[in-house]
Structure 1
Amino acid sequence: MSQQQAYIPSKFQWSFLLPKYWGIWIGITLLMLLAILPWGIQWRLAHGLANLAWKYLKSRRKTTIRNLEVCFPEWSPEEVEKQAKRVFIDMMLGIFETLNAWYCPQWFKHRCTIEGLEHITNAQKQGQGVLLLGTHSTLLDAGGYLCAQYFEPDVVYRPQNNPLLDMLIYRCRATIYKHQIDHDDMRGLIRKLKDGDAIWYSPDQDFGLKQGVMAPFFGVPAATVTAHRRLLKISKAAAVPLYFYRHGDVRDPKYHVLIEAAVENMPSEDEVDDATRVNQIIEKQLRIAPTQYMWFHRRFKTRPEGYEEIY
């Protein structure tokens, strides 16, 4: 495909008006209406949807329970199930929080605090880009919006298969992020880091061993991506841990953005040691608010010969 014909995520196409896209237009309209509802109603809807998801998304439910059993062996079976249900609630709350960030951002006014912003500004003052090591939080783009109140974040994203949905999400995120970088655009990602941007990057999913190494995650060997090592080495960027979470009364929630000091000697000469250190950072973050993480992903799906099956 030529450059002139290349798909631009934010560009409207007249084909989006065809009947095959009408369902998406209706769905987006309903979501916009949900975004203007009072939080109390959103909270109740989230709980109702979570109950339905818990009942009917059996595979996700089993994966969530298994992940929590493996990562929190100190929890009793009853506690595991309780926290697993909480994961589903937090996921649904996160959807409403993201809708609020997209369509009703004033809802977050006076609800957010930040700690450690100097770790980003100091790196940028020294001419460095910042690779923000975070997680796949159930807050979704609401977390990005929280960060955007204090600095200009970029985000790495995976394009949607449906071009209309991709355009709509891209445009919503454009109100939050300075730049959106396709996960396959490594040159673009490196260029932004060299330009001094702060980019939210989540190295916390299992993409197999072609893109990573086995390293302990909550004490269990897990396939851990190592792409961030190459990004950091080429761009000379600082690796800065980032975490955001909801706290306080869930009926009147508050949000906190936590930024920690840059990871020293990252990357090192040992990719397993680097992967282990990143996993330890993520573990520490997740223990703050354990259920605000996407535990329904199969974090331990890669099991080389000699490793016990998890699922």
Structure 2
Amino acid sequence: MSQKQPYKPGEFQWEFLLPKYWKIWIAITFLMLLAILPWAIQWRLAHGLAYLCWHLLKSRRKTTLRNLEVCFPEWSPAEVETQAKQVFVDMMVGVFETLNAWYCPKWFDHRSSVEGLEHLTNAQAKGKGVLCLGTHSTLLDAGGYLCSRYFPLDVVYRPQNNPMLDMLVYRCRAPIYSHQIDHDNMRGLIRQLKQGDAIWYSPDQDFGLKQGIMAPFFGVPAATVTAHRRLMKMANAAAIPLYFYRYGDIRNPQYKVRLEAEVEGIPSEDELNDAIRVNKIIEAQLRIAPTQWMWFHRRFKTRAEGYENIYK
């Protein structure tokens, strides 16, 4: 018997037509229909879904509240709750923004602008690849699409567990990103950096201490990814902060892509200092639009010795 060929990202397989995948096909068709709705209806639906998620996803709600309490101690309890609810709204709005980026990208015409593009072009003119240090924004792939309007961008991604869903997401992202690089494919990352690509890389989540070091994040010790230091050393790449966010009236939103000056001196010989600097960059980005980040993830789940569990 011949062995089954390994699945290739974005590749259609006939087994996807089997009944076990029909629910996904139905869901995707429904999402495509949502993408063609007028924005006024989309954002109203987003608010309704956010309300439901706030009340149904109790664990996510609790995590969001706790993260904001810890990171913004200057906020009152009422402010924390208000901002936490807005996180859920921004997440749901981001789902519709992503659907628009996948299926109706012209919706973003005349709604976006870029700042600091010269920082990227200058680094690439020197023959360097660029790690665009960004965040897990609630804009999701809409943020990547906005960037692609101004410069070619690769993305590091985590494959979906369901192969059919992975195929669909991969294909929807294909027009947006020049390359989609599996987060475990270090060789691919280094290869594209050596070729001078710009790669969206988000070192803003807790992946434990096997891949990082404890460093303060909003003043709280947090497991901080340091893999980008090795990537930059091996590929002689530059680090440039990248941020994108929504602003203005939600009924007629505008979007800003912001690139900052190359971060000098990273990687250095001091791993902790590099981690602190990157966390400071992310903190500054998040303060621009605090609720447009995925605060419902447990950013502080890994605790340093002697520190209590934040999520008790």
Q: TM bucket by the smaller chain?
A: over 0.9
Corresponding residue for 1:223?
223
* Partner in structure 2 of residue 273 of structure 1: 273
In structure 1, distance between residues paired with 2:202 and 2:3: 29
Matched residue type, 1:181: I
Residue 259 of structure 2 is aligned to residue 249 of structure 1: no
RMSD: 1.1
1:261-299 deviation line (CA, Å, top 9, x unaligned): 010011000111000000000000000000000000000
Matched, 1:83 2:83: yes
Deviates more, 1:5-14 or 1:293-302: 5-14
In the other structure, the counterpart of 1:302 is 302
**Cα 1:108/1:55, change in 2 over 3 Å:** same
- 1:163 and 2:163 are equivalent in the alignment: yes
Q: What CA distance in whole angstroms lies between the structure 1 residues aligned with 2:3 and 2:138?
A: 36
Counterpart residue identity of residue 117, structure 1: L
Is 1:93 the equivalent of 2:93?
Answer: yes
Q: Which residue of 2 aligns with 1:50?
A: 50
Counterpart CA distance in 2 for 1:114 and 1:298 is 31
- SS at 2:239's partner residue? strand
Identity %: 79
TM-score (norm 2): 0.98
Alignment partners' CA distance in 2, 1:261 and 1:308: 37
Where do residues 109-188 of structure 1 align in structure 2 (5 Å cutoff)?
109-188=109-188
Tell me the alpha carbon deviations over residues 64-114 of structure 1, each in whole angstroms, 9 at most, x when there is no partner.
000000000000000000000000000000000000000000000000000
Q: Which runs of 5+ in 1 are unaligned?
A: none
Where does residue 232 of structure 2 map in the other structure? 232
TM-score by length of 1: 0.98
Q: Distance in 1 between the 2:285 and 2:31 partners?
A: 30
| Partner secondary structure for residue 265 of structure 1 | coil
Cα distance between partner residues in 2 of 1:3 and 1:207: 34
What secondary structure sits across from 2:171 in the alignment?
A: helix
Residue 304 of structure 1 deviates from its aligned partner by: 2.8
Q: Secondary structure at the match of 1:138?
A: coil
Partner of residue 30, structure 1: 30
Following TM superposition, where does structure 1 have runs of at least 4 consecutive aligned residues deviating by more than 3 angstroms?
none
Whole-angstrom CA distance in 2 between matches of 1:64 and 1:126: 42
Residue 4 of structure 1 deviates from its aligned partner by: 9.0
CA offset at residue 257 of structure 1? 0.4
CA distance in 2, matches of 1:23, 1:201: 32
Find the counterpart in structure 2 of residue 39 from structure 1. Answer: 39
In the TM superposition, what is the alpha-carbon distance from 1:3 to its structure 2 partner? 11
